[in-house]
Chain A
Amino acid sequence: MGLIQARLESGLIPHRWGSEAVCSKVQLDEARASLQMRFLVVAPRRLDALRVALRTAPGDELARRDLQRLGHQLHGTAATVGFGDLGLLGGVVERAAAASPYGDDHHARAAAAVELIGEYLARARGELSPISLSDDPRFVALLCAVQ
C-alpha cells in the first residue's frame, strides 16, 4: 500500500473528550456506507488473492501462510466495516489454513469457504450492502465445523 499521507487542516483544538458522542448518527451511517463501498471496490482483488493462495496451499508452505493471513485480514476487516458473515467466512479460512499439518479436510473446508466468499461478494456487490447467509446450509455447516 505504501505510505498514505493526508493532512486535515483546521484551526480548532479539542475541548472535550470521551464524555459525549464524538459524532452524530448521520455521520456514522455515512461513514459506514462509504467504508462498505470502498470495501466492495477492493474485495475482488482480495478474492483473487485468496484463490491464488488456495490453489497452491497444499504443497506450498508460503502459500498456506498467505492463505491464513488473507483469511485473518478478512476475518477482522470485513466484519468491522459491516460484512459480518463475510468476516466469519474469513475466520473459517484462517483457521483451516492454520492447521498443522494442513490436510485434505482442512483444504476442502478452506476451498468451500472461499467459494462461498465469492458468492457472497457477487451478491453484495449487486445489492451494494451486506447480506445474510444465516439461511444458507453451507454457511451454517462451515461454521459448525470450526466450532
Chain B
Amino acid sequence: MKPCATCGIQAGDGATRCRLCESPLGDAPAPAPMLVEGRYEVQSTLGRGQQGMVYLARDLGLGRLVALKVLHPAHAGISTAASRLQREAAALAAVRSDHVAQVYAFGAHRDTFFLAMEYVEGRNLDALVAEHAAHREFIPTHRGLTILRELADGLTSLHTAGIVHRDVKPSNVMIEQGTGRTVLLDLGLARSLVEPVDPRLSFVGTPAYMAPETILGEDASQIAGHTDVYSLACTAFELFTGEPPFSFGTIPETLAHQMWDAPPRLSSRRPELAFLDPVIERALCKDPNARYQTCAELIAAVDGVCAEWPRLQWSGDVDTLTEAPSLRLMVIDDDEVFSEFAAGACALALPGIALDLVCASSGLEALQSAALSRPDVVVLDYDMPLLDGLATLSYLRAMPGGHGSQVMLVSSNMRHLPKWRFAAMGVTDFLEKPVDLEEFADTLGDVAGRAFAHRSRFERARPP
C-alpha cells in the first residue's frame, strides 16, 4: 500500500484514486497540486501523524504560507479526532498572542476536515537543545530565560481565554527563523477550562512533561493552568540542563517518577543555576495546589530570583514604537568605518525607503537605544569588547518586542563563529568580513523585506 504522491495519505488496498485529493494512485503522471477549499494550494509535507497530515500550503487569496492540518479521511468519521481538531481551531481562534500560533480557518474538505494556521518557519526547541548538547553546551541562561518568559506569556493568553494546553514540551515550541520569536504550537490536546471533561480523555500528554494530576485522571477538574505550569517547568528544566527532570526508563517508569519521586534539583546538573532551584521546585510540586497557579506567578518568581541579572527595563512607549512608519535599522559595530560602510549599503539596498538608521559602537549603546525604540533590522558584529554579539542579541531578544528584530550577523571570524548558538535566537543570515558591498546590500535587502513582512503580519507597519 503506497501513499498518494500528491498528499501523502495512505491509500486503501485496491484504491485507484486518493480519498483526500482524488489524485490517481499508482504510476500515473504527477498530478496537479492539491487544492483545499479552493484557496490553499499544498506545496509540501511538513509532518505526518497517526491521524493526519500537516502540509505547507499557500493561501492563494492572501498570498501567504500556512500550515494546513488535514485529518486522515479514515479518522474524519471518528468524533474524537474531528472534534479535537475543531477544538484546536476554536481554542486558537480565541487567543491573541505573539507566542501562540494563530489559527486562520477551519473547514471541511471532501470527506474530512482541515485547519489552516500560521506557518512558523524555524527550529523546534528540542532540536536546539539537542544541538547545544552535542557541542557540550547549554542554551545561554539569559536566552533561556527569555524563551521561558515568552512561553509563559503565550500560556497566559491561553489560560486567559479559558484553555489549558496540556502538551507543553520543547518539541511543541518553535523558535522562529529571523526573529527568534518563541511560538507555542500544537493545541491538539487543549481543552476548555469550563467545558465538562470526559474522564477517559483526561489522560493525555507526553510522559516526560505530564503533571501528576493528568496521569491520575481521577479528578479531571484538577486540570487547570497549574497543569501547564508543571509542564512548563519540565520544559524549563530541559532548556537549562538538556534533559527533562524525569526522562529515563519506560513510559510507565517515567509516569511513576512524575507521580511519586522528588524531581532532581536544577543545580545538581547546573550548579550555577542554584538561584532558580526554589522556583523550579515549586513549579514541579506534585500537589497542584502547592504549585504556582499561573504562569505569570511563575515568571514573577523567576524575575524575583534573577534580580542580579542585568535586565534592561522597557522605557519606551509601545504605541509610539508600533506606529513608527519608517524602517528602523540598527548597525552595531565597534568599528566606525564598518558602520559607515553598512550605512552606505543601507542607502543602496533600500532606495526610497523611509529609514531610521542608528549606528551603535557597542552592545550596551545599542541596547540603550533599542530600549527606547526596538529596531526592525539589526546588522550585528560578533566580535566586540565587553558585550559581544551573542550577549547583545540575547538582551535585545529579552526586551518587549525584541523578537521582532530581523538580525544579520557579520564577523571576520566566521570559521570560529558558533552559528548554532545564534540559531536559538532565530539568526540565519551570516556574512563574513571582508564583505562585498553588493553582497551586503543584497542580503540587507532580503532581511529588510522580511522585516517589512513581519511588521505587516503584526499590523505594526503603516504604509506611507
Contact B452 A14 (CB under 8 A): yes
> If the complex has contacts A14-B449, A17-B445, A80-B341, are A7 and B355 also in contact, measured as CB distance less than 8 A?
yes
How far apart are B106's CB and chain A's nearest CB, in angstroms?
A: 32
Instruction: Report Cα–Cα, A76/B338, bound state, in Å.
Output: 8
Contact B326 A7 (CB under 8 A): yes
Interface flag for B336 (CB, 8 Å): yes
| Contact code string A32-45 (vs B, CB < 8 Å = 1, else 0) | 10110011001000
Instruction: Report Cα–Cα, A2/B358, bound state, in Å.
Output: 10
Which A48-82 residues have C-beta < 8 A from chain B?
69, 72-73, 75-81
Interface flag for B433 (CB, 8 Å): yes
Q: Chain A residues near B37 (CB, 8 Å)? A: none
Interface flag for B232 (CB, 8 Å): no
Contact B353 A12 (CB under 8 A): yes
> If the complex has contacts A1-B359, A18-B442, A77-B335, are A35 and B344 also in contact, measured as CB distance less than 8 A?
yes
Q: Chain B residues near A5 (CB, 8 Å)? A: 356-358
> If the complex has contacts A3-B359, A69-B385, A75-B412, are A81 and B348 also in contact, measured as CB distance less than 8 A?
no
Contact A23 B354 (CB under 8 A): no
Contact A7 B369 (CB under 8 A): no
Instruction: Report Cα–Cα, A78/B339, bound state, in Å.
Output: 12
Contact B337 A38 (CB under 8 A): yes
Instruction: Report Cα–Cα, A79/B433, bound state, in Å.
Output: 8
Q: Chain B residues near A17 (CB, 8 Å)? A: 445-446, 448-449
> If the complex has contacts A12-B464, A17-B446, A31-B344, are A7 and B357 also in contact, measured as CB distance less than 8 A?
yes
Q: Chain B residues near A81 (CB, 8 Å)? A: 337, 341
CB < 8 Å A-B pair total: 136
Contact B337 A77 (CB under 8 A): yes
Contact B464 A13 (CB under 8 A): yes
Instruction: Report Cα–Cα, A117/B138, bound state, in Å.
Output: 42
How far apart are B354's CB and chain A's nearest CB, in angstroms?
A: 5
Interface flag for B343 (CB, 8 Å): yes
Residue of A whose beta carbon sits closest to that of B443: A18
Interchain CB contact (< 8 A) of B445 among A22, A27, A69: A22
Interface flag for B349 (CB, 8 Å): yes
Instruction: Report Cα–Cα, A18/B349, bound state, in Å.
Output: 9
Contact A6 B357 (CB under 8 A): yes
| Contact code string B310-342 (vs A, CB < 8 Å = 1, else 0) | 000000000000000010000000111111110
Interchain CB contact (< 8 A) of B335 among A8, A23, A73: A73
Contact A39 B359 (CB under 8 A): no
Instruction: Report Cα–Cα, A69/B434, bound state, in Å.
Output: 16
Interchain CB contact (< 8 A) of B369 among A3, A11, A69: A3
Interface flag for A108 (CB, 8 Å): no
> If the complex has contacts A22-B445, A76-B335, are A14 and B353 also in contact, measured as CB distance less than 8 A?
yes
Q: Chain A residues near B463 (CB, 8 Å)? A: 13
Instruction: Report Cα–Cα, A84/B448, bound state, in Å.
Output: 28
Residue of A whose beta carbon sits closest to that of B361: A1
Interface flag for A143 (CB, 8 Å): no
How far apart are B397's CB and chain A's nearest CB, in angstroms?
A: 21
Which A80-126 residues have C-beta < 8 A from chain B?
80-81, 84, 87
Q: Chain B residues near A23 (CB, 8 Å)? A: 348-349, 351, 438, 441
Q: Chain B residues near A135 (CB, 8 Å)? A: none
Residue of B whose beta carbon sits closest to that of A73: B335
Interchain CB contact (< 8 A) of A72 among B358, B361, B412: B412
Instruction: Report Cα–Cα, A34/B435, bound state, in Å.
Output: 16
Interface flag for A9 (CB, 8 Å): yes
Q: Chain A residues near B339 (CB, 8 Å)? A: 1, 4
Instruction: Report Cα–Cα, A81/B339, bound state, in Å.
Output: 11
Contact B433 A6 (CB under 8 A): no
Q: Chain B residues near A7 (CB, 8 Å)? A: 326, 354-357
Interface flag for A147 (CB, 8 Å): no
Interface flag for A10 (CB, 8 Å): yes
Interchain CB contact (< 8 A) of B353 among A3, A8, A28, A32: A8
> If the complex has contacts A6-B357, A22-B349, A80-B435, are A72 and B383 also in contact, measured as CB distance less than 8 A?
yes
Instruction: Report Cα–Cα, A69/B340, bound state, in Å.
Output: 19
Contact A8 B354 (CB under 8 A): yes
Interface flag for B352 (CB, 8 Å): yes
Residue of A whose beta carbon sits closest to that of B433: A76
Q: Chain A residues near B348 (CB, 8 Å)? A: 22-23, 27-28, 31
Instruction: Report Cα–Cα, A27/B349, bound state, in Å.
Output: 11
How far apart are A80's CB and chain B's nearest CB, in angstroms?
A: 4
| Contact code string B407-448 (vs A, CB < 8 Å = 1, else 0) | 000011000000000000000000001110110011001101
How far apart are A13's CB and chain B's nearest CB, in angstroms?
A: 5
Interface flag for B297 (CB, 8 Å): no
Contact A18 B340 (CB under 8 A): no
Interface flag for B204 (CB, 8 Å): no
> If the complex has contacts A12-B352, A28-B437, are A80 and B338 also in contact, measured as CB distance less than 8 A?
yes
In the assembled complex, 7 residue pairs joining A and B whose CB atoms fall closer than 8 Å, in A order, are A1-B339, A2-B365, A11-B352, A18-B442, A18-B446, A22-B441, A76-B433
Which are the 7 A-B pairs with shortest beta-carbon distances?
A79-B434, A17-B449, A76-B433, A76-B412, A12-B352, A1-B361, A80-B434
Q: Using A14-B350, A22-B351 as known contacts, list a sample of 9 further A-B pairs with CB atoms less than 8 Å apart, ordered by residue number in A.
A: A5-B358, A8-B357, A12-B351, A12-B352, A17-B446, A22-B349, A69-B334, A69-B385, A80-B338
